[in-house]
Amino acid sequence: MVGVKRLVMVPYMKKSGFVLIMLAVMAASLLVSCKSAVKGDRDQDNLEAICDKVWSYSQSHPDGFTLDIRNMSLPRVGICVAYAATDNTHDRDGLHDVVAHALAHDGYVGGWLNSEDGLYYFDSVRIFSEDELDEALLFAEENGQQAIFVLSSGTEIRVNQAAAA
């Protein structure tokens, strides 16, 4: 009899062990999904909070600004060049994409008033050191930008004029 019980029990134990393992895997997967969802919610909340701060900052700086959105500081030196991916963003709704791009890249957002069309533009920007003018101009050309901005002097350099010089 002992041998029979043993033969009957082994397949049952193997099957129930498999079920327990599968339940454990499913529970772990669910836990990871829940954590990812919570993290995703927190990331989204953080993104919206950053957008709110950038929007608020733009309202009190109508002439323009450059912000390091990772710590909400103002870089004082460097050459700002906008990414083409965030061109033509003029409102709070579009700012979401600009901030998301900036967080995925260099962490800088610029805002400026275009006196020609009266629109306020938001861009994800890359900052080059001031001894990298050629690299900044090349990046500007590659990204279809008309101008770059030198932070330390507050000087705009038109890309087509710099290329001709």
Residues 12-36: tens digit of each pLDDT: 545 566 555 655 555 555 554 444 4
Residue 116 falls inside a structural domain: yes
pLDDT over 90 (residue 153):
yes
The stretch 33-42 carries a mean pLDDT of 44
User: Is the Cβ–Cβ distance between 156 and 147 less than 8 Å?
Assistant: yes
Closest CA to 54 of 43, 65, 45: 65
Greatest Cα-to-Cα distance within the chain, rounded to the nearest angstrom = 100
| Number of domains composing the chain | 1
Residue 66 falls inside a structural domain: yes
Q: Between 29 and 52, where is the model more confident?
A: 52
Percentage of residues of the chain with pLDDT beyond 90: 64
Residue 36: the pLDDT is 40
The token pair that represents 101 in the structure block: 């791009």
User: Tell me: the pLDDT tens digits for 76-94?
Assistant: 999 999 999 999 999 998 9
Residue 115: the pLDDT is 87
Residue 40 falls inside a structural domain: no
Residue 37: the pLDDT is 41
The C-alpha angle with vertex 107 and arms to 125 and 144, in degrees rounded to 5, equals: 20
Residue 62 falls inside a structural domain: yes
Residue 160: the pLDDT is 84
Q: Alpha helices, DSSP H only, in the chain? A: 2-60, 92-104, 133-142, 159-164
Residue 24 falls inside a structural domain: no
Q: What pTM was computed for the model?
A: 0.71
User: In which domain, by residue range, is 158 found?
Assistant: 45-164
- From 44-48, 115-119, 154-158, the region with the lowest mean pLDDT: 44-48
Residue 13 falls inside a structural domain: no
The C-alpha angle with vertex 55 and arms to 120 and 107, in degrees rounded to 5, equals: 95
Residue 36 falls inside a structural domain: no
DSSP label at 1? -
Residue 56 falls inside a structural domain: yes
pLDDT over 50 (residue 5):
no
